Structure 1
């Protein structure tokens, strides 16, 4: 409720701290998704100060605020210099990977006005943001299978899927779900031969892989140095360790970048010209990203990359030593997915609940297109300090999950799959949640049964259920 009289900043900050008490921790490496911690308080302080300095600057009009032009040029050039480009490489600073991906798809679509029904060809492991881009932009998303063992995209299958309507092919470096790099060189060669744009989604790994290579990791070519790659997205709020809201979209040439822009003079107000989906936008994330890059420098990122790589190798070895678990694929980056290895008495999602109850958040990933359900770990610059604790907790969580047994989901998937979520209101939907053991009255709910039910549903039913859940979550019903 809006108060009658203004409240003091001290009171407001105190309330925010109380609200955050139930949040996952954002520092220390115990939340293995969503957050990226450099473990360097001086770098965080520099980014925070820079963010606040530019808090009121509006990125809508770069002629009114030339500081944003200078900062964006420097950030784009710094990123391009490590990813196959140079100071002249065209790029756009965006609010995140999803915006970068939507703009890359828009650029590919708009650069081919001759194609009436555009489509993009993507591996089944591609990030959901490409499906979002297709939905928003009216572009068909055509999926092709990946290797069932390595989870890497298939260049031959990509070539076979291309038609006269294809405006873009996509590869991941790495894929988020399994941390493996697709065969970018082969896929880009197919695109080049067919005269089609090729985007590399390096949102999660683009600002990590160069430093892993410096640390001795075998990193296959993936960036603008690869012939045929026409655009590349890389998030700085991931392994760039910048504040949230920071991504860079690089292009091979300025004409393709031009196709990502939007302009409108069809109204009586100011002429709109946007490089991003947003119009008005704070310059804080841009300044925070710039400050983080400058504060860490090459040596800082090299050290953080080496630390994350060492942590990942230790985690992969440690999971292999835990009876009942196995790592999926062979991770090229510091992202690891593992699953249950032929043990019917061991429930994967119960392991996640037990680990969370002991202070570690492991991100559940549902089965899809023949790929098994898994738990995801993102290892960052601080993870090496907590690997022993993580593996010890995981071992205990597995033992606890085996003792508890599989979550009771018999019949629930069939019952829920038969519901018409569009016909339910938020309150009715919320009343059904206790049937799968979800109660927000007792703090963080156990999610094993929910994830088990979701895993038994087809993707369309999962989507309908989860959007209704989101609506209920933001209503008074929960």
Structure 2
């Protein structure tokens, strides 16, 4: 029974939470190099936590009922706008929601533009011929879908947004030396159905910045909006630049950039979920909004995908920005850049390892010439360090990803020592050996035809225990299987993993 017959004490509940978290990765200290962002400053996190709790029960649904929401959001969005070239913004729950709204705004903006063009053409035809021309000059024929043009390294949130919003994705390859998109390839992919061009600053997989100026310029010449995904880099790159990093222009000050997403729960170090979506034109921001008067209840006008939502994340973001201030972020930027430099230099000295590209940010990916990186990741996890595996894709080899944060500098030497030891151990263990025929078996499975229990048994056969409370699993085998499968099969397998983990 999930609901207790009577209420439980706070002490009892907190004790159970501690038990449930027993196998969680640590969120402080820098040994988890993905998912969490740590300043190493307890006072800042305390301020954010207290502000979060103070705003926890305030509802962002109606800003006229809670003016504190408007005041805080204006300050938070204003700080991001000041740092990233101006613009008009929306506070959202995270990068995925910011990206979802950017795609919605571009889709609706294009649709409005098409209607205006069609209406103008119809009026011109009526004037000339005394009759109307139905649907004249519309860009989309019936049944056609608008499309996004983006690099293969762009975040899957764009694919998710396209899936939800009825938009097609046109992926463009990246240069396999620099891992950046080539402007010429973007230009070749644009067609009459393109509603948005996307670049990353930086792209998550290798931490490199796409050529924003060139791509934004060609998008502008084509009359198409250009979105910069700076979810990771928006609140990082300006401070790295001040610390001496060679960061090219990427924000709304770049001609042709029409929108930009920036997560504050990443290098803004705010509690999750906190992100800001900026638009160069307030008319485009209005296209991200949703309003409905088609019912007899209360007024519906939403700036985000959500309606009712806690102001806790907004309060936490506001407090974090205020607690750190410009000097605090600059100090964190300096420490982050120094840690990144030392990590890159250290990795180059470990036999068999190679950094992919030349990251302009503090996201570093490395691969192994004679080392199975998935086995290396398991060895590092056994030593208390989490390195994020990334599967091979579009000519990019399987690799491990490290997000360097403000707290990393204090532990970068320890991290390099663990990576070197883990590489040596992985080399001695050898690569993950897949049972003969397993990949073909998985690829040929009709996953819709088997139940979760059967899938769990299949997972257990390759050493992956999906039962709750089973702790941190070794993942080299499952990553090797996924790496050998085509993307569509990977997706189907991952959906079943999630289904089994959460159960009924």
Give unmatched runs, 5+ long, in structure 2. 115-138
Counterpart for residue 420 of structure 1: 446
TM-score (norm 1): 0.97
Equivalent position SS for 1:21: coil
Cα deviation for residue 92 of structure 1 reads: 0.2
Name the count of aligned residue pairs: 470
1:433 is aligned to 2:459? yes
1:462 is aligned to 2:460? no
Cα deviation for residue 440 of structure 1 reads: 4.6
**Partners of 1:355 and 1:206 in 2: CA distance:** 30
Q: Among 167, 170, 192, which residue is 2:195 paired with?
A: 167
Q: Deviations 1:282-326 (Å, cap 9, x if unpaired)?
A: 000001000000000000000001101111111111111111110
Q: How does 1:335-350 map to 2 (within 5 A)?
A: 335-341=363-369, 343=370, 346-350=371-375
**Partners of 1:376 and 1:2 in 2: CA distance:** 40
1:355 is aligned to 2:380? yes
Q: Deviations 1:375-433 (Å, cap 9, x if unpaired)?
A: 00000000000011101111110111111111111422111111111111111111111
Counterpart for residue 413 of structure 2: 388
Equivalent position SS for 1:36: coil
Equivalent position SS for 1:314: helix
Q: How does 1:52-201 map to 2 (within 5 A)?
A: 52-85=53-86, 89-113=87-111, 114=114, 115-116=139-140, 117-201=145-229
Equivalent position SS for 2:385: coil
Cα deviation for residue 71 of structure 1 reads: 0.5
**Partners of 2:185 and 2:248 in 1: CA distance:** 20
Counterpart for residue 127 of structure 2: none
**Partners of 1:424 and 1:298 in 2: CA distance:** 55
Q: Among 356, 374, 379, which residue is 2:404 paired with?
A: 379
Q: Deviations 1:68-94 (Å, cap 9, x if unpaired)?
A: 001000000101111011xxx310000
Q: Among 204, 210, 219, which residue is 2:238 paired with?
A: 210
Q: Among 264, 268, 274, which residue is 2:302 paired with?
A: 274
Counterpart for residue 43 of structure 1: 44
Counterpart for residue 129 of structure 2: none
Q: Deviations 1:32-54 (Å, cap 9, x if unpaired)?
A: 00000011111001100100001
Q: Deviations 1:201-231 (Å, cap 9, x if unpaired)?
A: 0000110000000001100000000000000
TM-score (norm 2): 0.92
**Partners of 1:414 and 1:381 in 2: CA distance:** 44
**Partners of 1:364 and 1:305 in 2: CA distance:** 25
Report if the CA contact (8 A) 2:466-2:500 is conserved: no
Counterpart for residue 233 of structure 1: 261
**Partners of 2:466 and 2:421 in 1: CA distance:** 25
Equivalent position SS for 2:314: helix
Report if the CA contact (8 A) 2:352-2:368 is conserved: yes
User: CA-atom RMSD, angstroms?
Assistant: 0.9
**Partners of 1:10 and 1:367 in 2: CA distance:** 46
Counterpart for residue 22 of structure 2: 21
Cα deviation for residue 439 of structure 1 reads: 2.0
Runs of 4+ in 1 over 3 A off after TM superposition: none
Cα deviation for residue 239 of structure 1 reads: 0.1
Cα deviation for residue 271 of structure 1 reads: 2.2
Q: Deviations 1:101-154 (Å, cap 9, x if unpaired)?
A: 010000000001124321110001000000001000000110111101100011
**Partners of 2:438 and 2:299 in 1: CA distance:** 54
**Partners of 2:460 and 2:322 in 1: CA distance:** 50
**Partners of 1:425 and 1:246 in 2: CA distance:** 37
1:329 is aligned to 2:327? no
